């Protein structure tokens, strides 16, 4: 029998939240969390004595208001019934804000858009999915656990006063603010295919938080930001790092950039906790992105972070091929807990419930390779970006470029 580890971990899950839909045609599917938990159970990854499965509790209004604009929060709260009638907009806003300063268009708050629709229970969903992240941060800070994973969280686009990019409440910023109040140094490593603009904006002038983001270049994809010259400002200069990945970046090229940038900066910064956004939309099959990566390099990145940091708060983020996402997150949970997944039903159950039959019986992909002139162009561009960061960011951390 496997001995207890010298750490404890917690996995956040809520069945009602995982069953919710933004809209039938919307690409963001919370059901990914249930698929991940089911797959973790199938591979014997949830039954260790050091693990806890916890139910997320909703964030309260004052906690959210430490970052979010109160007017925005109250409008989101009003939208919880699934609609915000036009005849209520003016009355509701007048009760919240000086009418002379009011723009009556509800869209200014990012609500009712294609990306961030209003649906029944939207406020309950956003506050509960985000609440799990703060719970994990508190548990880690209290020494109850060292490893936490909230596959329902990771809303790195949400802004102070509006919803954006499928994100209503920025759970990452709220959890980081809690940790900062406790005097912790926090590093964020975001490997989602979309730039974490909400987190970047929140801490762009802050040297207590090191934000490192790898994402498909903003020249080609939402949110059209996250370029290498966005390195922070004021006290935060050098504490915001972006590695924009050209389209068709493959596993090897991503791993090159990751290993050149992340370990040196984390060792130099010395965070007490690393918050990791495990967006799986970098996968080559993802319908919203254009990278040529698999969960091979995804796993290598998680391994590196696990070796560097004894405390990790991991979050779900993007991933719109839901079966590939469930595989990636299952592997991440295994790596974070330092155990090997073993299919307890091998030979008796097929893999169709988790994706194409060709993938049945294995979780990890073979690495993808981009070839020819496209690869040469990507390699040259990533070398340029890495060199830029080494010249402009590394010296701030007393690292030689």
Q: Which residues are catalytic?
A: 157
Instruction: Give the CA dihedral 99, 100, 103, 108, nearest 10 degrees.
Output: -80
CA distance 387 to 369: 23
How far is the first Cα of the chain from the last one, in angstroms, to the nearest whole number? 47
Residue given tokens 């049945």 in the structure block: 360
Helices (H), 184-320: 197-202, 251-269, 295-308
The answer for residues whose C-beta is within 8 angstroms of residue 92's C-beta and 6 or more apart is: 74, 75, 78, 84
Residue 147: closest CA among 262, 267, 300, 5? 5
Beta strands in 266-376 (DSSP E): 273-277, 312-315
CA distance 105 to 111: 10
Please give the full DSSP string across 77-109, using - where no structure is assigned.
HHGGGS---HHHHHHHHHTTS-GGG----GGGG
Distance CA 265, CA 261 (A): 6
Pairing of the two strands 312-315 and 147-150 = parallel
Secondary structure class of 390 (helix, strand, coil):
helix
CB of 96 closer than 8 Å to CB of 113: no
Beta strand 240-245 pairing with 312-315: unpaired
């Amino acid at each position: 029998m496997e001995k207890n580890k010298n750490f404890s971990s917690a996995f956040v899950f809520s069945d009602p939240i995982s069953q919710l839909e933004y809209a039938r045609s919307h690409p963001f599917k919370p059901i990914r969390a249930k698929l991940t938990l089911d797959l973790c159970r199938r591979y014997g990854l949830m039954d260790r004595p050091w693990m806890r499965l916890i139910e997320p509790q909703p964030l309260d209004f004052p906690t959210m208001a430490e970052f979010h604009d109160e007017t925005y929060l109250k409008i989101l709260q009003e939208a919880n019934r699934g609609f915000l009638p036009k005849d209520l907009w003016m009355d509701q806003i007048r009760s919240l804000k000086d009418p002379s300063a009011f723009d009556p268009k509800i869209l200014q708050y990012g609500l009712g858009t294609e990306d961030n629709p209003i649906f029944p229970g939207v406020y309950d969903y956003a506050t509960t999915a985000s609440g799990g992240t703060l719970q994990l941060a508190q548990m880690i800070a209290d020494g109850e656990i060292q490893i936490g994973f909230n596959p329902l969280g990771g809303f790195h686009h949400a802004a102070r006063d509006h919803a954006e990019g499928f994100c209503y409440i920025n759970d990452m910023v709220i959890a980081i603010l809690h940790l900062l109040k406790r005097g912790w140094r926090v590093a964020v490593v975001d490997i989602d295919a979309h730039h974490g603009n909400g987190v970047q904006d929140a801490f762009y002038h802050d040297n207590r938080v090191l934000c490192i983001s790898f994402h498909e270049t903003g020249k080609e994809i939402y949110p059209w930001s996250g370029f290498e010259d966005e390195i922070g400002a004021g006290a935060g200069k050098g504490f915001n790092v972006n590695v924009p990945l050209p389209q068709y970046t493959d596993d090897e090229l991503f791993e090159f950039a990751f290993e050149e940038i992340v370990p040196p900066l984390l060792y130099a910064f010395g965070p007490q906790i690393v918050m990791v956004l495990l967006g799986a939309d970098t996968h080559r099959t993802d319908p919203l992105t254009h990278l040529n990566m698999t969960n091979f390099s995804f796993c290598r990145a998680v391994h590196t972070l696990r070796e560097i940091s004894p405390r990790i708060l991991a979050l779900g983020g993007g991933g719109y091929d839901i079966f590939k996402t469930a595989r990636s997150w299952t592997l991440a949970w295994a790596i974070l807990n330092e155990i090997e997944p073993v299919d307890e039903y091998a030979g008796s159950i097929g893999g169709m419930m988790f994706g194409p039959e060709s993938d049945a019986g294995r979780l990890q992909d073979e690495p993808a390779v981009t070839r020819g002139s496209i690869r040469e162009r990507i390699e040259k561009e990533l070398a340029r970006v890495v060199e830029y960061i080494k010249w402009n960011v590394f010296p701030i951390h007393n690292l030689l470029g």
